[in-house]
Structure 1
């Protein structure tokens, strides 16, 4: 039975800035890959019904895995949902990721639910990968650099 991963984090920045980090290809490629991986964005259409395709490459081994999906809900600064599916037939099924953003006194409360994670991926490994990604996200969105 597929697994569901739930994450919660508070970021010291605005919901709008966090939202942008999910919907700008260059930003996503910078923060989404967990430690030890690089990301290539092959196709990116951040509109409802729009599709995306990217791949993560293990920097040590050079092996990569591709995945893609479709945006099903976009509410600027508040919420986004998208489907996600691996190209590898050994990682079957479609996942759905829901991201909720809420303005709080110190910035943004971020909640992520990833449902339908294939059984062959240990939930704790998926959770760890997301934690690494969210640390990268914080490094991207929390600094206020005014040029």
Structure 2
């Protein structure tokens, strides 16, 4: 448990029935990101995107019920194709200061892809359980995006 004064960390692990290349692409394709990244009840919009190390994106999540939204900026610190994404996330609101480090590792497994996500430095104002729940919902949508084998022309 994190106390209110220190940033929090969440760790998630999933095995997806899809190749690492497809999972990696879902993290680096703005059209895919708006489909799977927003937690349930939110829509997402990518405002700018540069999919290179040193690049990144700005995105906002909007609460579908209330219309309120928050935006954040991501910088890609390190990208290893189909294996690793290391990024820093910063909320654009001055009420949520600090940088979060998100590390996504992908490893080919007999079932498809072993995915690990670690998000560190969650601002004290955001309950860690809220972040964990949001990631769980996002990864559920990621699975629905990358796991189906849909033939060309369908």
Report the TM-score, using the length of structure 2 for normalisation: 0.94
Select which of 115, 131, 144 maps to 1:139.
144
Deviations for 1:65-110, whole angstroms, at most 9, x for unmatched residues? 0000210111011111111000111111000100000001010000
- Residue 35 in structure 1 maps to residue 30 in structure 2: no
- Residue 58 in structure 1 maps to residue 101 in structure 2: no
- Residue 94 in structure 1 maps to residue 80 in structure 2: no
- Aligned residue in 1 for 2:22: 17
Report the TM-score, using the length of structure 1 for normalisation: 0.98
Any stretches of 5+ residues in structure 1 without a counterpart? none
Select which of 74, 77, 89 maps to 1:72.
77
Compute the displacement of 1:51 (Å). Answer: 2.6
Any stretches of 5+ residues in structure 2 without a counterpart? 1-5
Q: Hey, which bits of structure 1, 4+ residues long, moved more than 3 A?
A: none
Deviations for 1:87-139, whole angstroms, at most 9, x for unmatched residues? 11111100010000000101000000001100111111100000000000000
- Residue 110 in structure 1 maps to residue 109 in structure 2: no
Residues in 2 aligned to 1:92 and 1:39: alpha-carbon distance in whole angstroms: 21
Alignment length (residue pairs):
147
Residues in 2 aligned to 1:30 and 1:78: alpha-carbon distance in whole angstroms: 21
Q: How well do the aligned residues superpose, as a CA RMSD in angstroms? A: 0.6
